[in-house]
Amino acid sequence: MNQDIRAFFQKNNVLEVETPAVSQCANTDPNIESFELHTQGEARYLHTSPEYPMKRLLALYSQDIYQIAKVWRAGEVGSRHNPEFTLLEWYRVGFDYHQLMQEVGALLQCLIPALTQSSIQKSYQQVFLETLDINPHSATNELLADCIEQQQLDISGVLDRSAMLDLLMTHCIEPTFRTDCLTFIYDYPVQQSALACVREDDPPVAERFEVYIGMLELGNGYQELREPDKNRQVLEQENITRQQRGQKTMPLDDRFLAAMEQGIPHCSGVAIGLDRVLMARLGKKSIQDVISFPWGVA
């Protein structure tokens, strides 16, 4: 599979790169926890994605790049999660996120024999309207809560808006996705924008996408946010959310933010979980079946 991936990118003139797996800084996303290391009295973190250093390379060279990298995320163990896994991440200079969706589809068609039909692309709003008759951008929190109750979804505690939308997506919408083709969902709610551009529609939407085969999410991509002040605001707000949730705040990557000040080209980027792609390629139901030494025996 890795040989097929490298051949694909060589054909498309995308350069393979390597970046450090250990950093002085960490991912601030409240939904992701980093492994923390201590050496000679200093804290270091195993990366959860090579995103920040790859964007530093974009700032330096403005060139199409990809990387096949081992990454680590604490506490993620299950049939689709292993704390150590393999991520394919790439950035295409001059591409918008719709062009990148086409390239993602072309690559995955080469890798997964079960994909016998053409890809489906639908907006986040479209799949909510088709499946639940709800506009996810304008529905009130009360309406979302009522929908969760009507669907008889079992929840514990109080969910915020993003959590309610995620619950409806995973339990009501994703089960409708076909297993013989890829499903791309794009234009997400602004509160789920991360480091994606926000398009000022009515209502505004985040220019990002996720790609699935059946219910198995394979990856997510972005029209990359380039404004340095907005990048800093996202990281700072994520740390505020972490603090509100009682999580440890993370040191911001000042070198990444300095690269954003220097400027990166107009580009889109995507991260694909290769272990999940291998699951789909081999028809396996558990990620443990495609990793030689999964977490319990590593």
pLDDT in tens, the chain (298 residues): 999 999 999 999 999 999 999 999 999 999 999 999 998 889 999 999 999 999 999 999 999 999 999 999 999 899 999 999 999 999 999 999 999 999 999 999 999 999 999 999 999 999 999 999 999 999 999 999 999 999 999 887 788 999 999 999 999 999 999 999 999 999 999 999 999 999 999 889 999 999 999 999 999 999 999 999 999 999 999 999 999 999 999 999 999 999 999 999 999 999 999 999 999 999 999 999 999 999 989 8
Examine residue 177 and state whether it is found in any structural domain, yes or no: no
Which of 198-223 are b and which e, b meaning 16 or more Cβ less than 10 Å from the residue's Cβ? beeeeeebbbbbbbbbbebbbbbbbb
Question: Residue 187 falls within a domain, yes or no?
Answer: no
Domains contained in the chain, number: 1
Question: Is 122 domain-assigned?
Answer: no
Residue 164 lies in a domain: no
Q: How far apart are alpha carbons 64 and 51 in whole angstroms? A: 14
- 60 within some domain: yes
d(C-alpha 278, C-alpha 237), whole Å = 35
Is residue 185, in this structure, part of any structural domain at all? no
| pLDDT score of 98 | 98
Instruction: Give the residue numbers spanning the domain of 239.
Output: 2-115+217-297
Task: Give the CATH number for residue 95.
Answer: 3.30.930.10
pLDDT at 158: 84
Q: Report yes or no on 143 lying in a domain.
A: no
Q: Kindly state whether residue 167 falls inside one of the protein's structural domains.
A: no
